[in-house]
Amino acid sequence: MTIDTAVLGLSDAHTARMHELYRHLHAHPELSMQETHTAAFILEKLTHLGLETFLCGGTGIVGILRNGDGPVVGYRADTDGLPIAEDTGLDYASTTTGTLADGTEVPVMHGCGHDTHVTVGLTAAQLLTERRDAWSGTVVFIFQPGEETGEGAEAMVEDGLWDKAPMPSIIYGQHVWPGLTGTVNISKGTAMAMADSWRIIVHGQQAHASQPDESIDPIVLGAHMIVRIQTIVSREVHPMKSAVVTIGTFHGGLKENIIPASAEFTVNVRTFDVDVRERVLGSLRRIISAEATASGAPEPVIEEITSFPQCYNDPSATEDLMAVLGEVLGEDAVIESPPVMGSEDFGLLAEAIGVPSVYWFFGGHPQGLLDGDAPVPGNHSPYFAPAIEPTLTTGVRAAMTALLSKVGTA
């Protein structure tokens, strides 16, 4: 099929408005599941464009753009910022703060580029509204909160997203990635890893440092758990499959001459295959429990912190999309890439209704202030902030191409 590329065209007015949106969003980031102002801002813009809107999952917004008969297509943009102190030196840098669950006030920054995602989504909504003549069908815009904590997609689904919005036949989403200027990068099949994070509280028995036989030493026990956990990847995962089991934190003890009563550590598991994930998590539970038994300690407490689902690109839908993106952006601008071990909760939105989805990365252009040799500041860096252009235009063209490829048959 062929896209009417005229519909993608951004006039100077469009571009100016888009940049204004972006600067505003970048300067006003909010923490996950607290995106109240961002939600109000999006709601106002969508309503103004004439979309049907509703709040969903707390601070999530859905905008439905109906345009006659035809396919229903979903498009998702995530909206939350991060507890990072921005250090980009930009005139539109964030100076806002937020409050963590434990009450701490922290600086907040759009350190993962979700501001570009919202801007691209709103701009696509505007273009599609203005050119209802060029397509036919329905687009469901999903502005999802809480991606960073893996909470938002689940919250929207549980709040009845698919009871309230028309069911799409496919859902698209994309993420800005620094350094890929002008291109999109897509994986066929698995696109991003599942990620599961747990907190493990290891209970022992406190005693003076000179009385180990009166203790159950939770630090020695924790150390043996960490050592033993290494065998999951080294011996239990098929050598040609991928899994990472990282213990990101370990904390126990207050004073060198006291064996503490407990210790705790967190573990982060990344896998691509559901089978591998199940085996790794099962082995983790088995090892943690058995090592406690080996120490004569009580059963450790395992708390799930976050769980990011698989992000799987339907292969046939991905091939179709790559073909049409190649036409619009140029063959060289569409790169098939292997899956990445990063994680996303995007996949949950389509999984909930059993429809295909495709997710890709679009190029964020590094700030001009960087000299040529400097490494590009990555996502979650205090220096992260792609240059506004061509970043945003690339994103809009990719989003519009994907949407029009499904509804542009008018």
Options 48, 104, 251, 315; binder of a copy of itself; rule CB under 8 A: 251
Binding positions for a copy of itself, 176-195, rule CB under 8 A: 193, 195
Options 42, 61, 65, 263; binder of a copy of itself; rule CB under 8 A: 263
Options 298, 342, 382, 390; binder of a copy of itself; rule CB under 8 A: 342
Binding positions for a copy of itself, 292-321, rule CB under 8 A: 293-296, 305
Select 137 or 218, whichever has its Cβ closest to a copy of itself. 218
Select 6 or 234, whichever has its Cβ closest to a copy of itself. 234
Select 236 or 351, whichever has its Cβ closest to a copy of itself. 236
Select 90 or 341, whichever has its Cβ closest to a copy of itself. 341
Q: Tell me the C-alpha distance between 163 and 157, whole Å.
A: 9
The tokens describing 308, both together, are 């990011």
Binding positions for a copy of itself, 142-171, rule CB under 8 A: none
3-state secondary structure 42-70: HHHHHHHHCCEEEEECCCEEEEEEEECCC
Select 158 or 303, whichever has its Cβ closest to a copy of itself. 303
DSSP 333: G
CA nearest to 144, candidates 305, 351, 344, 313? 344
Residue 259, SS3 per DSSP? strand
Q: Which stretch binds a copy of itself (CB under 8 A): 28-36, 50-58, 74-82, 255-263?
A: 255-263
Half-sphere exposure for 231 (CA within 13 Å, toward CB): 9
| Interaction between residue 104 and a copy of itself (CB under 8 A) | no
Give min distance, CB of 268 to a copy of itself, in A: 4
Q: Which stretch binds a copy of itself (CB under 8 A): 32-40, 123-131, 282-290, 321-329?
A: 282-290
Q: Tell me the C-alpha distance between 271 and 285, whole Å.
A: 16
The response to whether 56 counts as a known ligand-binding position is no
Q: Tell me the C-alpha distance between 383 and 142, whole Å.
A: 28
Q: Tell me the C-alpha distance between 146 and 308, whole Å.
A: 12
The response to whether 114 counts as a known ligand-binding position is yes
The response to whether 28 counts as a known ligand-binding position is no
The tokens describing 224, both together, are 């043996």
Q: Which stretch binds a copy of itself (CB under 8 A): 48-56, 91-99, 239-247, 388-396?
A: 239-247
The response to whether 311 counts as a known ligand-binding position is no
SS3 content of the chain, % helix, strand, coil (to 5): 35, 30, 35
Q: Tell me the C-alpha distance between 101 and 158, whole Å.
A: 22
Residue 268, SS3 per DSSP? strand
Q: Tell me the C-alpha distance between 76 and 162, whole Å.
A: 14
Select 94 or 197, whichever has its Cβ closest to a copy of itself. 197
| Interaction between residue 338 and a copy of itself (CB under 8 A) | yes
Select 234 or 372, whichever has its Cβ closest to a copy of itself. 234
| Interaction between residue 354 and a copy of itself (CB under 8 A) | no
The response to whether 148 counts as a known ligand-binding position is yes
Options 167, 261, 341, 353; binder of a copy of itself; rule CB under 8 A: 341
**E-strand stretches of 117-229:** 137-144, 170-178, 184-186, 189-192, 194-203, 207-208
Instruction: Draw the binding track, 205-234, toward a copy of itself (x: CB under 8 A; -: no contact).
Output: ----xxxxx-x-x-xx-xxx-xxx-xxxxx
Annotated binding residues for Mn(2+), written as ranges, equal 112, 114, 148, 175, 380
